[in-house]
Amino acid sequence: MHAHYLQHVPFEGLGSIELWLEKAGYTTSCTRLFESAVFPPVDSIDLLIVMGGPMSVNDEDQFSWLAPEKQFVREMIRSGRPVLGICLGAQLIASAMGARVFKNKEKEIGWFPVEGIASDNDSAFRFPFSTRVFHWHGETFDLPAGAIHLARSRGCENQAFQIGQTVLGLQFHLETTPAFMVEIINHCRDEIIPSRYVQTVSDMLSAQPDQFRKINELMDKVLSFFS
């Protein structure tokens, strides 16, 4: 099996996903959009993971690779192959499928809970009733047509969605490790203006090992959903 991931900035890599892929027996490859927008053949990929980044999906004039990336994501979804989008990645899936991506009423940066939404669809992924996860976003999205709403938070209604049996979009970062968190803080510190849903750096860094373990285990369950 082969997993390919789309990376938008050097400091937002796979995090805990890397270990899961290794244990599950995947080979991996990467398109680093900040270097080159060259995408592999769709039929060479068994799992596509679209990572986060500080840019907006609406910045096509500034980032020439955004439109081709959306087309590639759309082709992957239409092929029926598994696609997981994280933060910007979820917004790219939404945009690729015709949904609106726009500024959220609140920025969410730091550790805040998300609430799983019960679904009558037995095939829907089920998030826990409440889980404290790591956020870093200022935009949100409308749900794509036909998507199942999976999670919300007080600061952002659309936190996660599912399309069919092969597509999941998560606004939050379950892949966060201590090293990942330090990297994003160091590179995006100017966004940290403490408010109702923006923690201070010291509060973020006070996260205990158990917090990372819990969200990484939940990410493992998300990835296993595609197995």
| Chain Cα centroid distance, residue 186 | 20
Number of residues assigned to the chain: 227
Residue 166 belongs to what H/E stretch? Answer: none
Of 69, 108, 139, 175, the active-site residue reads 175
Paired with 132 in beta bridges are: 113
Distance (Å, whole) CA 74 – CA 77 = 5
Read off the pLDDT of residues 173-224 as tens digits, 9 standing for 90 and up: 999 999 999 999 999 999 999 999 999 999 999 999 999 999 999 999 999 9
Q: Residue 27: its pLDDT value, please?
A: 98
Q: Residue 227: its pLDDT value, please?
A: 82
Q: Is the full-model pTM beyond 0.85? A: yes
Edge-first strand order for the sheet with 2-7 is 27-32, 2-7, 47-50, 83-86, 167-170, 160-163, 148-152, 101-116, 131-141
Residue 63 belongs to what H/E stretch? Answer: none
CATH value at residue 121: 3.40.50.880
Joined tokens for residue 156: 């952002």
- Stretch 65-92: mean pLDDT, rounded? 98
- Number of structural domains (the chain) is 1
Read off the pLDDT of residues 25-61 as tens digits, 9 standing for 90 and up: 999 999 999 999 999 999 999 999 999 999 999 999 9
Give helix 88-96 / helix 66-79 axis angle, nearest 10°: 70
Residue-range definition of the domain harbouring residue 88: 2-224
Read off the pLDDT of residues 156-176 as tens digits, 9 standing for 90 and up: 999 999 999 999 999 999 999
- Average pLDDT over the chain reads 97
Q: Residue 142: its pLDDT value, please?
A: 98
Considering the chain, what percentage of its residues have pLDDT values greater than 90? Answer: 97
Clarify whether 173 is annotated catalytic: yes
Of 4, 135, 137, 173, the active-site residue reads 173
Read off the pLDDT of residues 179-188 as tens digits, 9 standing for 90 and up: 999 999 999 9
The CB density around residue 138, as the number of other CB atoms within 10 Å, is 15
Answer yes or no: is pLDDT of 65 > 90.
yes
Answer yes or no: is pLDDT of 115 > 90.
yes
- Stretch 107-116: mean pLDDT, rounded? 98
Bridge-based pairing of strands 83-86 and 47-50 is: parallel
- Stretch 124-147: mean pLDDT, rounded? 97
Of 12, 87, 139, 156, the active-site residue reads 87
Terminus-to-terminus CA distance in the chain, angstroms?
A: 11
